[in-house]
């Protein structure tokens, strides 16, 4: 996948803002500092030309992808470094117990690791503005006895050492002396979830945003109950230092919140994962293991410059990889091409799987070329996929509505809201192409993004390791569709 750099939207403002912050630092030192000899934490970063950021390895924080470092926290930190006009140095750690002392000893400038602002942590660190909210979920394996509250736990519970989960359990223990659990530095949250799946562990606790990602891989992960109410996620800075760096963090988040960069990044990593459907996820993984191999070579051949797994994800959304699929509207085949589109692309038989995949790949590439050049990836890609479903005309109507309403017509996070408005008369009567089922296009893009994420993960597993067997157990103990907040 092509990554988006949040700082690109800020290039024109960096130089002015850095100069502004240098002036702010001087004012702080002159008027607000009790110890005149104390150096400014922000000036130290600016003078050294390096921002040292501590983080943890993980799906939502930082990891090395095929094209280099990626992750929600990494991209936020990269944007902040460019905002200050300095170089970013990332120091990833395997455990929070290793990470926190580095900030206390001033070996790091800040921590960007998706950490929650708990009462205990607030006594030790200062925190920037909240940019996400998550809740802690007690997780067990689908098909086991459903634990509905803390008193119904009957088995081994393990959480990571130094986590907010441990803090929450300590709070519970004050009212429930029988509560017991273990803490580990040897396993991270993802590994603990895998132990739950293999039935080596009965329960663990995980933040809702991480769980949303993991359930696309392991649909048997089930939620027992919320261990905590929603908590703020924020960056941490050293409590003993002055507030100049913290002030810069606050200003940075204020800027990326107002210009839409934060919303775009949040949508990139989490926007398509709000809803979870157990049956759909299980069926997709089964099909990926048993049906997709028959057509994989054609997806690879006809994807062109695109990732073949994206084209395969689109095909599953269109037809569930059924070459004989036919809809009530007359679209047919693996890629559900209309008759007019097939003629335009030179496709003779829409029901021939190879021709359909070839046509679908060519049509998506054609749509991408027709999206304005100024729109960057991945937004450009989501626009093209939406147009595949709803048409370029209706997509353009949604972009016009976004611009009229003061939103960004070049960002998917803003345009998808206006696609929903194309079903409302007060909006669509003002557009060129009129009414459209824009909500279906939004769902269409979200589903494809989820399928794509799962295919990437499946494809990246070790070749010698057979696909993980999916146990089709009845989902009577949990809703088939639910939202993770």
Q: Which of 127, 101, 227 is nearest to 170 (CA)?
A: 227
Helices (H) then strands (E): counts for the chain = 20, 16
Answer whether 90's CB lies under 8 Å from 63's CB: no
- Which token pair is 232? 């703020």
Buried b / exposed e across 147-166, counting CB within 10 Å, b at 16+? beebeebeeebbbbebbbbb
Sequence length of the chain is 485
d(CA 114, CA 74): 10
Identify the active-site residue in 194, 220, 318, 396: 318
d(CA 100, CA 56): 11
The answer to whether 191 is a known catalytic residue is no
- Which token pair is 275? 């809803």
Label each residue of 36-61 as H, E or C. Answer: CCCCCHHHHHHHHCEEEEEEEEECCC
d(CA 257, CA 405): 17
User: Between 308-319 and 292-302, two packed helices, what is the crossing angle to 10 degrees?
Assistant: 130
d(CA 444, CA 254): 32
In 41-187, which ranges are E strands?
50-56, 63-65, 68-70, 87-93, 110-111, 125-127, 132-134, 136-141, 158-160, 182-184
User: Between 308-319 and 353-370, two packed helices, what is the crossing angle to 10 degrees?
Assistant: 110
List Cβ<8 Å contacts ≥24 apart for 149-156. Answer: 149/225, 150/176, 150/179, 150/225, 150/227, 151/176, 153/179, 153/202, 153/203, 154/202, 155/202, 155/203, 156/182, 156/201, 156/202, 156/203
Which SS3 state, helix, strand or coil, does residue 474 take?
coil
Helical residues (DSSP H) of 174-277, grouped into ranges: 189-197, 208-214, 244-258, 261-270
- Which token pair is 277? 């459907």
**Burial class of residue 177 in the structure, from the number of CB atoms within 10 Å of its CB (0-12 exposed, 13-18 middle, 19+ buried):** exposed
Q: Which of 267, 213, 282 is nearest to 484 (CA)?
A: 213
Q: Which residue has the tokens 């304005």?
A: 372
d(CA 141, CA 202): 8
* Active site amino acids: 318
């Amino acid at each position: 996948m092509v990554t988006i750099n949040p700082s690109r939207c800020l290039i024109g403002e960096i130089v002015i803002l850095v100069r502004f912050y240098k002036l702010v630092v001087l004012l702080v030192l002159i008027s607000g500092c009790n110890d005149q000899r104390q150096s400014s934490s922000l000036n130290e970063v600016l003078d050294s030309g390096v921002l040292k950021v501590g983080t943890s390895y993980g799906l939502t924080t930082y990891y090395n992808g095929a094209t280099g470092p990626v992750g929600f926290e990494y991209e936020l930190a990269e944007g902040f470094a460019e905002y200050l006009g300095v170089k970013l140095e990332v120091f990833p750690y395997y455990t929070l117990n290793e990470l926190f002392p580095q900030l206390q000893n001033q070996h790091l400038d800040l921590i960007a690791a998706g950490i929650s602002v708990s009462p205990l942590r607030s006594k030790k660190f200062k925190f920037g503005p909240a940019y996400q909210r998550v809740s802690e979920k007690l997780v067990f394996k689908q098909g086991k006895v459903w634990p509905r509250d803390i008193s119904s736990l009957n088995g081994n519970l393990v959480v990571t050492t130094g986590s907010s989960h441990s803090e929450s359990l300590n709070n519970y223990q004050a009212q429930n002396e029988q509560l017991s659990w273990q803490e580990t530095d040897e396993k991270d949250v993802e590994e603990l979830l895998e132990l739950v799946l293999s039935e080596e562990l009965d329960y663990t606790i995980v933040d809702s945003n991480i769980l949303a990602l993991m359930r696309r891989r392991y649909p048997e992960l089930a939620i027992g109950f919320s261990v905590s109410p929603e908590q703020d996620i924020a960056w941490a800075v050293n409590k003993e230092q002055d507030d100049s760096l913290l002030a810069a963090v606050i200003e940075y988040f204020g800027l990326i919140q107002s210009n839409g960069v934060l919303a775009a990044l949040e949508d990139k990593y989490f926007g398509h994962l709000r809803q979870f459907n157990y049956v759909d996820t299980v069926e997709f993984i089964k099909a990926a293991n048993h049906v997709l191999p028959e057509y994989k070579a054609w997806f690879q051949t006809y994807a062109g410059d695109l990732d073949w797994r994206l084209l395969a994800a689109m095909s599953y959304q269109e037809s569930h990889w059924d070459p004989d699929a036919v809809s009530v509207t007359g679209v047919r085949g693996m890629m559900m091409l209309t008759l007019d589109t097939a003629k335009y692309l030179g496709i003779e038989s829409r029901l021939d799987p190879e021709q359909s995949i070839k046509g679908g790949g060519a049509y998506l590439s054609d749509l991408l070329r027709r999206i304005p050049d100024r729109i960057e990836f991945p937004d450009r890609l989501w626009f093209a996929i939406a147009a595949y479903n709803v048409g370029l005309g209706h997509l353009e109507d949604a972009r016009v509505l976004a611009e009229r309403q003061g939103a960004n017509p070049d960002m998917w996070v803003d345009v998808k809201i206006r696609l929903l408005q194309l079903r409302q008369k007060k909006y669509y009567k003002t557009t060129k192409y009129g009414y459209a089922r824009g909500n279906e296009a939004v769902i269409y893009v979200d589903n494809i993004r989820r399928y794509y994420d799962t295919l990437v993960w499946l494809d990246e597993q070790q070749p010698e390791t057979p696909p993980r067997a999916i146990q089709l157990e009845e989902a009577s103990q949990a809703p088939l569709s639910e939202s993770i907040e």
